[in-house]
Structure formats: C-alpha cells, structure tokens
C-alpha cells in the first residue's frame, strides 16, 4: 500500500498542521504494519540545474523526515530550458556530476529515488547534439 505526502511548505499554517499530524500518524502506523510511505514531488524546473537540485534535495530530505522510503521526481527534474540549444549544451552523461550528486544523496539518506526524466548525453557518440530523456531509479543498499 502506498500513501502520498505533498510538500506542505506553501500551505496555510492550519493545513500544514493537519498534514503534519497525518504524516505523523502514517509514520507511526508504518511501525505497526509493513506499509511503505512514498513521496511524489512536483516542482517548476528552470535552466539552472544547481538550483533545481537544491529544491529537489530539500523535497527529498523533507520526504525522508516523514518516513518515506522512496521519492518520485517529475519528468525533466534536472532542467527545463528555453531552447534546444541550451538543452544540448547542458545535457550530461549518467556518470556526470548531477546524477553523481543524486546517487550520493540517495546513499546519505538511505532512500530510493525515482528520477522521472533526465536529459542524458550519449556518451558513446560523444556529440553534444545527441541526448535522450532517461528514467532512473537510484537505490542505495545498506548491507551492514
């Protein structure tokens, strides 16, 4: 069974308290049964990948604080650009700095991340103009 928690930062204080109480109940009920709590996040991405990462990082940490074991980010979570040219210039390979940061975040928080659509540069062709929108799930296994 999945339960969804939305970000409460922009809600009126009376709704924030209500959602916080519900989240606390969900978290406590997770200890009584084997339900898993997940978060589905939405944001308004821009061209600035670093700013988008910082927003996503805050949302992922907030979800973790509610006891979520997996966080789903939207398609094009990395960037939305004003032109195809900018997309081609900013696309990265899967071993690039952005996905590396998300991998480290998943490891640090011991959480699963579903990255809904990443502008991936084709590392085989080595051309700036070749990219695809890739869906990724980052999993950190803690064996110790």
Q: What is the pLDDT of residues 97-130, one digit of tens each?
A: 999 999 999 999 999 898 888 888 876 665 544 4
pLDDT per position as a tens digit, 72-106: 999 889 999 999 889 888 988 888 999 999 999 99
Determine the pLDDT at residue 116. Answer: 82
- The burial of 133, by beta-carbon neighbours within 10 Å (0-12 exposed, 13-18 middle, 19 or more buried), is given as middle
Distance CA 42, CA 115 (A): 12
Do residues 7 and 59 make contact, with C-beta atoms less than 8 angstroms apart? yes
Residues facing residue 133 across a β-bridge: 119
Query: Is-contact 51 79, C-beta < 8 A?
Result: no
pTM over 0.75: no
Other CB atoms within a 10 A radius of the CB of residue 67 amount to 19
| Residue 29, token pair as written in the block | 């009920």
């Amino acid at each position: 069974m999945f339960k969804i928690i939305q970000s409460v930062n922009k809600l009126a204080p009376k709704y924030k308290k209500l959602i916080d109480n519900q989240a606390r109940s969900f978290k406590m009920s997770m200890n009584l049964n084997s339900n898993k709590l997940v978060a589905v996040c939405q944001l308004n991405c821009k061209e600035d990948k670093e700013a988008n990462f910082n927003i996503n990082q805050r949302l992922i940490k907030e979800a973790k604080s509610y006891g979520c074991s997996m966080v789903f980010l939207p398609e094009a979570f990395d960037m939305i650009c004003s032109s195809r040219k900018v997309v081609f210039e900013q696309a990265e390979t899967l071993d690039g700095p952005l996905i590396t940061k998300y991998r480290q975040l998943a490891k640090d928080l011991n959480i699963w991340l579903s990255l809904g659509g990443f502008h991936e540069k084709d590392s085989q062709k080595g051309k700036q103009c070749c990219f695809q929108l890739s869906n990724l799930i980052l999993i950190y296994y803690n064996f110790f």
